[in-house]
Structure 1
Amino acid sequence: MDRLLTAVLDAHGGLRNWTKVTRISADMSLGGPFWAARGWPDVYVNQSVVVDPHREHITFEPFTAPDLISVLDVGPERVTITTRDGRIVDERASPRGSFPSPFVDGSTPWDAIQVAYFTGAAVWNYLTEPFVFNHPDVVAQEIAPWSEDGQTWRRLAVTFPKSIANHNPDQVFYYDDAFMQRRMDYSPDVTGNPPVAHYTHDHRTFDGFVFPTRRRVHIHDADGIADQGFAPITIDISAVRVDQR
């Protein structure tokens, strides 16, 4: 295992402890103008999110209505929207192939299934990082460091397999001297591959594991410099619960 990755895993709670985790639950809100541009303003205010940490399965509640839940499963990929008592309202297999192209950031609409897929895949990865980097089909290796605001951050280049639904295969993660994540770079396929610089703030420990509780998505230029004056997507987490056997 890459030495930087080993240090990051230890700082976030330890890989051995992670193997005992059975479920992650989080209270969060997602905001920013991105959602209104898709036709769904305030769709992710005050969400209860439940994650299976060892296979890509995540639920959001409430989703688009007080009594509805979105469910993303991968292997194979499927999004289902159900009532609380389990009645299926809508579903779609292979949802990634349904996204409209070309994508115009300010005006391309998405249907509910597309919104649920995009957010479910993203947040599952956010809540399982950095431990998902130890997945046998994920490749993680340290690359040259990055200097920003008088600090030097070490970086992991991570390549995800097709079996993990994510923004795109090749991403870069930045860590400070305490091995806390400060930034991640990626280019979501379904939104036209914009150069995203996603910053993570306010790390807190819940049940022995560290999670950033404030995330801000920005766009960076060709030199990697982010425009932090504009955040099309924001994520704020108020609580996380980690169940262990």
Structure 2
Amino acid sequence: MNTLLNEVLEAHGGMDRRRQLSSARATLVSGGDLFALKGLPQDPTPREMTVRLHEEHASVAPFGAPDQRTGFTADRVAIERTDDSVVAERAHPRTSFDGHVLETPWDPLDRAYFNGYALWTYLTTPFLLAMPGFDVEEIEPWQEDGEEWRGLRATFPDTTASHSTRQDFYFGPDRLLRRHDYHVDIAGGFAAAQYVYDITEADGILLPTRRRAYRRDDDLRAIRTQVMVSIDLSDIRFS
């Protein structure tokens, strides 16, 4: 395994602790300009996010109604009631985004798919980089805030849904995550730079509680005038 990746995993709690855990839950408040552009502005209601750590599965509740939740895997997305009945579902959801540009409206299943893969990615970072099928290499470091942030470029396997196949992760001298770069392929492929803040420890795992994703220019710098996605997490617990 890549030496830097080993240091990063250890800094975030270590693989031994990670193997003892199977799921994560958190209270989620999200927002940002992307959802308004998609015709689905996000309200500030706190929601419960649940993800499995060793397979790509996520759910958020409530979603659309007090008795509804989402069910996400890489090849299916659904809106379900709490009695497990299905309100709507879509197989192979990635194909529904073919031809989309940034301003193309989303329907609720599109929103559920984005939420599912994005929060699964965030709540499993950086440990997902050690999962089977991920190809990880060190890239040029990034200088910011008076620090040198060492970088890892991950190529995601075809079986994993996420923002884009190739994503870059930057870590500070303490080897904790500082920044995450990617393209949002399902929204016209715009380039994003996501900064993370307020790292906390939950059940032996360290992870950020605030994320802010901005458009990124050709020089890899964040365009700070537009927050595309904001995510605040609280009450994080692993089991």
Q: Would you call these one fold, judging by a TM-score over 0.5?
A: yes
1:87 aligned to which of 65, 85, 88: 85
Structure 1 residue 50, shift from structure 2 partner: 0.8
Specify which structure has the higher proportion of strand: 2
Instruction: Name the % identity.
Output: 39
Structure 1 residue 197, shift from structure 2 partner: 0.4
Structure 2 distance, partners of 1:198, 1:95, is: 24
1:178 aligned to which of 174, 181, 196: 174
Q: Determine the structure 2 residue equivalent to 1:67.
A: 67
Structure 1 residue 17, shift from structure 2 partner: 1.1
Alignment of 1:112-127 (within 5 A): 112-127=108-123
Q: Determine the structure 2 residue equivalent to 1:78.
A: 76
Does structure 1 conserve the Cα–Cα contact (< 8 Å) formed by 2:33 and 2:226?
no
- Residue aligned with 1:86, SS: coil
Structure 1 distance, partners of 2:37, 2:190, is: 16
Moved >4 Å (runs of 4+)? none
Q: Which amino acid aligns with 2:225?
A: G
Structure 1 residue 180, shift from structure 2 partner: 0.9
Structure 1 residue 150, shift from structure 2 partner: 2.1
Structure 1 residue 56, shift from structure 2 partner: 0.5
Cα separation, partners in 2 of 1:96 and 1:72, compared to 1, 3 Å: same
Q: Determine the structure 2 residue equivalent to 1:135.
A: 131
Q: How many residues align?
A: 239
Q: Which amino acid aligns with 2:76?
A: R
Q: Which amino acid aligns with 1:191?
A: A
* 1:103 and 2:110 are equivalent in the alignment: no
Q: Which amino acid aligns with 1:98?
A: S
Q: Which amino acid aligns with 1:172?
A: D
Residue by residue over 1:2-53, the C-alpha shift from the partner in whole angstroms, topping out at 9 and shown as x without a partner, is: 1110011001111111111121111111111221222222257311011110
* 1:216 and 2:212 are equivalent in the alignment: yes
- Tell me the TM-score normalised to structure 1 length: 0.94
- Tell me the TM-score normalised to structure 2 length: 0.96
Q: Determine the structure 1 residue equivalent to 2:149.
A: 153
* Of 222-231 and 196-205, the range deviating more from structure 2: 222-231
* Of 174-183 and 31-40, the range deviating more from structure 2: 31-40
Structure 2 distance, partners of 1:110, 1:219, is: 19
Gaps of 5+ in 1: none
Gaps of 5+ in 2: none
- Root-mean-square deviation over aligned CA pairs: 1.2
Structure 2 distance, partners of 1:57, 1:214, is: 22
Structure 1 distance, partners of 2:223, 2:134, is: 29
